């Protein structure tokens, strides 16, 4: 039986953090053997917010290097840059014409992002979910491994695919969201009521995959908690719950085991144990990133091969959509 296909994307808009890693990338890496995998650095999405062109080019390559350092294995997965395949914006236009203003208007990420980027609220930012739907639908994707924040965008992708298939004929596979049970929404260390994000300003907000052990320890020690003492999983204690969830993913222990291990111990001891676990998990990634980054030609070759491999799938779907809607 052939393997199901997964597709996912990540924007080259800043350093990747523990939220990106635990919500998305680690799951891509861990399930590479189970699926046929397509992963994409979505640089066209990145220009919905203001980017310096030279920096964008650099960050696109750096992110590709980081994904390889995290364990994306090109023998098992295709990795490519979104803007290398013209069918993404082309299909996005056809989808645009099949998404109502009302549905697009409901997207909460647009509201958040337009508040954060109030000087540049452009049409592309509004339309962002149509391009994301095109990314997914072009590849006849079965599953989309993402963090919780992408759930609404995925619902839109499913809806437009269902509508198109119904109105014009069978064209797209309907993709299923793949959202992890733990780690789907990693919260900011300095403010556990907001999700960890690349753009937040606080020096202790996010742990980046390239942070040094000293930075990781400092950020975890400073992480906001509460005035209670017991180290237990309690969703009402958002700061501690977030830290415990991170600990749980890296140690693969059950909640009971973790609570037992920290019985009678305080925040200080737990935070040091957590910092150790995070430092050791990220160390090989950082080392591999440094090694790979010295081989820009190798990364470029991988990306070119990745695009060449997946392009025929995108072309076929796009041609079909064009024909069905009467453009050829
Ligand atoms: P982005 O950085 O917005 O391109 O996100 C890349 C992937 O990381 C997407 O699958 C997001 O859902 C996921 N992600 C981003 N922030 C978080 C977070 N704080 N917790 C869990 N997943 C996240
Ligand atoms: N919108 C996603 C994010 O901000 C990134 C993305 C773009 C994506 N296209 C995608 C994720 C296709 C999954 C599938 O995180």
Task: Write down the domain spans for the chain.
Answer: 5-184+296-325, 213-291
Q: Is the dihedral of CA 73, 36, 10, 143 positive or negative?
A: negative
Q: From its phi and psi, is residue 191 left (phi > 0), alpha (psi between -120 and 50) or beta?
A: beta
CA of 23 relative to ligand 1 center, distance in Å: 6
76, 163, 173, 198: which one is catalytic?
198
Mean pLDDT to the nearest integer, 49-67: 96
Q: Dihedral of the CA atoms 195, 198, 202, 208 (nearest 10)?
A: 100
Q: Catalytic residue at 3?
A: no
Residue 113 falls in the annotated catalytic set: yes
Mean pLDDT of 207-229: 97
Task: Report the pLDDT value the prediction gives residue 201, as an integer from 0 to 100.
Answer: 81
CATH number for the 5-184+296-325 domain, one of 3.40.50.620, 3.40.50.720, 3.40.1080.10, 3.40.50.2000? 3.40.50.620
Three-state SS annotation for 181-228: CCCCCCECCCCCCCECCCCCCCCCCCCECCCCHHHHHHHHHHCCCCCC
Query: What CATH architecture does domain 213-291 belong to?
Result: Orthogonal Bundle (1.10)
Tens-place pLDDT, residues 185-206: 999 999 999 999 988 889 999 9
Check residue 84 and report its DSSP letter.
G
CA of 135, closest atom in ligand 2: 12
Is residue 104 a contact partner of residue 96, using CB atoms and an 8 Å limit?
no
pLDDT at 127 over 90: yes
Binned at pLDDT 50, 70 and 90, residue 1 comes out as confident
* Catalytic site includes residue 195: yes
């Amino acid at each position: 039986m052939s393997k199901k296909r997964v597709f996912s994307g990540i924007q080259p808009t800043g350093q990747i953090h523990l939220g990106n890693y635990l919500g998305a990338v680690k799951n891509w890496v861990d399930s590479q053997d189970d699926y046929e995998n397509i992963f994409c650095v979505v640089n066209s999405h990145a220009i919905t917010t203001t980017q310096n062109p030279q920096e964008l080019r650099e960050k696109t390559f750096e992110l590709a290097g980081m994904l390889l350092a995290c364990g994306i294995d090109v023998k098992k997965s295709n990795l490519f840059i979104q803007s290398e395949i013209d069918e993404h914006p082309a299909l996005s236009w056809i989808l645009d014409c099949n998404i109502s203003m009302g549905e697009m208007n409901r997207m909460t990420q647009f509201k958040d992002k337009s508040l954060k980027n109030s000087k540049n609220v452009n049409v592309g930012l509004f339309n962002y979910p149509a391009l994301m739907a095109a990314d997914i639908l072009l590849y006849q994707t079965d599953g989309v491994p993402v963090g919780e924040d992408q759930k609404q965008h995925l619902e839109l992708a499913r809806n437009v695919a269902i509508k198109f298939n119904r109105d014009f004929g069978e064209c797209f596979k309907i993709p299923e969201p793949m959202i992890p049970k733990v780690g789907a929404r990693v919260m900011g260390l300095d403010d556990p009521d907001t999700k960890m994000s690349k753009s937040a300003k606080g020096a202790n907000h996010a742990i980046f995959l390239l942070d040094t052990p000293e930075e990781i320890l400092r950020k975890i020690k400073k992480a906001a908690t509460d005035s209670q003492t017991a180290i237990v999983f309690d969703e009402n204690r958002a700061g501690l719950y977030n830290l415990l969830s991170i600990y749980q993913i890296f140690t693969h222990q059950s909640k009971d085991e973790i609570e037992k291990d920290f019985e009678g111990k305080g925040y200080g001891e737990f935070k040091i144990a957590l910092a150790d676990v995070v430092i050791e998990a990220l160390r090989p990634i950082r080392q591999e990133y440094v090694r790979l980054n010295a081989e820009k030609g190798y990364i470029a070759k991988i990306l070119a091969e990745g695009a060449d491999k997946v392009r025929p799938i995108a072309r076929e779907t796009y041609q079909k959509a064009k024909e069905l809607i009467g453009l050829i």
